[in-house]
Amino acid sequence: MSESGSSSVSSEASAGEPAGDPGSSLPQLEALISHLVAAKRSLSSINHVWRANEIVTSARSALEESVVVSARTGFLRRGLNNQLRLLYNVRSEVEEVSLRGRSEFAGVLKGLDTADARLRKTLDLLRETIVHASFRPDGEEPRSLHDFVDERGVEELHTALKSSIDRTNGAQAELDSSNYAFDDELQSIKQALGSYREATKLASSRTSTSSSSSASNSSLPSLSSMPSMLHALEMHAQEMANLLESLVRHFDLCVTAVKHTEGGGAAAQSITGDMPAAVAVSGRGVPNIEEGINANLNAPLDPLSESDYQEMVNVLIKDAAEAEDVVMEIQDRIGEMESVLENVLSQRDMLLSVHNATTGVFKHLSSLATARLPSYIAQAHNFTRVWNEEHDRINAGLADLSDLNSLYDGFLEAYDGLILEVARRRHVRQRVEKVLRDTKHKLDQLYEEDVNARETFRVEQGDYLPSDIWPGIGREPMRIEFRRISGGTLKGAAQGQAEDVPTAEPEPQAPDHVDEGEVIPELHKSLVQQALNRLKARSREATQDVTGEAT
């Protein structure tokens, strides 16, 4: 029913006189009476309007209570969040100490295993490498390179490393035990947080707020929607009062129309005689409806013209068609208000539930913080101290393992180098012998040529030259022979300076004489080739290691 339609009814009913044809007044009166009865029935919506005022009052009270509870819960929750955050940060730090120490320890152990495996492999190679018999005195039992190594240093190093590893493992076990106890404490706190968590999750779901699996992160019901809901309730109540007022105006119009219709005065009095004594509904800007109804019921009739009367009836009929829609709208609005009130009260109850659950958590946190938390932190510090001490010792032992491996590996490489050096010296000796043979052959040729030339000169010119003109004219040419001299000691290979190698003297000696001062072993080519292959393989491995470290 439109506001303008109702206004027109009120304005049109203010002047004119009763009109109507007696022959047609009865059917019209019956219709008007039916409209009056329906209009009276529609005024029962006053109960919904009363309920609307009650809902607004209840919602306003719930909002005020929610604001207070929310403020208290927010204060407690911030403290709870801070304590839980601090607690979990401590647990995370302690766990980080354990994980970092465990990771570093595992890395160091891996490095130790690698270095130890490399050292053992090198020692095994020393055991497998038999010194060639030509390097050793005759009759000596076969010996490996490992026979020249003292492993006591390796055993002592292993003992020291095992002690450091055992101490670190012990500190790690104590820290793990402490962390397990810490986790048990956290689990008990989680159990204590159960009601808080469920309350906050339920409240969050009912207020369309994202819920979290962690109690400290669960969202409280939002108060931001409650003022808007209260405003909506007030608007609904205001609009329902306005709609009820339009129904009252329609009822007044029906009363006026019936009373202006011939024979309708008594019917109007009969129908309106049992109206409630108080039909007062007021809101912000809503007039007192009781005064309007009673005034219209008791007001004297003003005369209406036929046209005014007919226009009033037309407006009444038009409004009567809308009256049922107005009643339905009032019912819909009261239903919506009941739903909104239920939501408001639900949010208030959720806030109360969260508040009650929050206050029970601090006892567990206080007990943990004052009694056992310091020992958990102290255990982490103790592990850090032990690990730092043993880490330095293990790193030093790792460096010693690497040095020993380098020493023994250098021993292997030096032995292969010795084989190549012997082969090189053998080759040089062979080259020297070849040079000696070639030189002796050339010197012998020159000697024969010189002897022949001198003899030819003597035969051809000797008879003409006096014998005393040059004493050497009849001598044979000189002869050159080689003398082998044993080598001294290389510089740096002995305490004193090696003596200078004496120069060759022209003393007769067989050119093929073999010096017995230096005996160069004669090694099989396969042995030399194997040593060369091993050296090349080590060189490739060293290059790959350098490349890998650079990468």
pLDDT (tens digit per residue) in 117-129 = 999 999 999 999 8
Flag whether 233 is in a domain. yes
Give how many domains the chain has, as a whole number. 1
Of 54-58, 92-96, 256-260, where does mean pLDDT reach its minimum? 256-260
> Do residues 412 and 121 make contact, with C-beta atoms less than 8 angstroms apart?
no
Flag whether 486 is in a domain. no
3 state SS of 234 = helix
pLDDT at position 505 is 35
As a whole number, the mean pLDDT across the chain is 78
> Do residues 342 and 58 make contact, with C-beta atoms less than 8 angstroms apart?
no
3-state secondary structure 184-248: HHHHHHHHHCHHHHHHHHHHHHHCCCCCCCCHHHCCCCCCCHHHHHHHHHHHHHHHHHHHHHHHH
What letter does residue 274 receive in the DSSP assignment?
T
Q: 229 versus 201: which is more confidently predicted? A: 229
Flag whether 378 is in a domain. yes
Cα–Cα distance, 89 to 383 (Å, whole number): 18
Q: 449 versus 488: which is more confidently predicted? A: 449
- Region of residue 483 (phi > 0: left; psi between -120 and 50: alpha; otherwise: beta): beta
Phi first, then psi: give them for residue 487, nearest 5 degrees. -75, 150
Cα–Cα distance, 503 to 216 (Å, whole number): 98
Of 62-71, 383-392, 436-445, where does mean pLDDT reach its minimum? 62-71
Flag whether 490 is in a domain. no
> Do residues 220 and 74 make contact, with C-beta atoms less than 8 angstroms apart?
yes
Q: How many CB atoms lie within 10 A of CB 460?
A: 9
> Do residues 266 and 48 make contact, with C-beta atoms less than 8 angstroms apart?
no
pLDDT at position 274 is 63
What is the distance of C-alpha 508 from the center of its chain?
92
Q: How many CB atoms lie within 10 A of CB 35?
A: 23
Task: Say if residue 77's pLDDT is above 90.
Answer: no
Cα–Cα distance, 29 to 11 (Å, whole number): 21
Q: Looking at residues 230-235, what average pLDDT do you find?
A: 89
Phi first, then psi: give them for residue 375, nearest 5 degrees. -70, -35
Assign 282 a pLDDT band (cuts: 50, 70, 90).
very low
> Do residues 523 and 422 make contact, with C-beta atoms less than 8 angstroms apart?
yes
**162-204 confidence digits (pLDDT tens):** 999 999 999 999 999 999 999 998 888 888 788 777 877 776 6
Cα–Cα distance, 84 to 192 (Å, whole number): 13
Q: Looking at residues 305-326, what average pLDDT do you find?
A: 76
Q: How many CB atoms lie within 10 A of CB 504?
A: 13
Assign 262 a pLDDT band (cuts: 50, 70, 90).
low
Flag whether 158 is in a domain. yes
Flag whether 495 is in a domain. no
**512-531 confidence digits (pLDDT tens):** 444 456 788 888 888 889 88
3 state SS of 288 = coil
Cα–Cα distance, 527 to 359 (Å, whole number): 87
**380-400 confidence digits (pLDDT tens):** 999 999 999 999 999 999 999
Task: Domain of residue 123: give its range.
Answer: 1-135+144-406
Q: Name the amino acid, one letter, at 266.
A: A
User: Tokens 């806030």 map to which residue?
Assistant: 351
Phi first, then psi: give them for residue 276, nearest 5 degrees. -60, 150
> Do residues 127 and 146 make contact, with C-beta atoms less than 8 angstroms apart?
yes
User: Tokens 């050793």 map to which residue?
Assistant: 136
pLDDT at position 297 is 56
Q: How many CB atoms lie within 10 A of CB 157?
A: 19
CA-to-CA dists, residue 184 to 173, 181, 375, angstroms? 17, 5, 14
Q: How many CB atoms lie within 10 A of CB 301?
A: 13
Phi first, then psi: give them for residue 144, nearest 5 degrees. -95, 170
Task: Say if residue 280's pLDDT is above 80.
Answer: no
Cα–Cα distance, 536 to 396 (Å, whole number): 31
What letter does residue 71 receive in the DSSP assignment?
H
Task: Say if residue 59's pLDDT is above 60.
Answer: yes
**138-170 confidence digits (pLDDT tens):** 888 899 999 988 888 889 999 999 999 999 999
CA end-to-end span of the chain: 86
pLDDT at position 36 is 75
67-92 in b/e burial notation, b at 16+ Cβ within 10 A? Answer: eebbeebeebbeebeebbeebeebbe
Residue 119, token pair as written in the block: 């050292």
Cα–Cα distance, 178 to 373 (Å, whole number): 10
Flag whether 431 is in a domain. no
Flag whether 330 is in a domain. yes
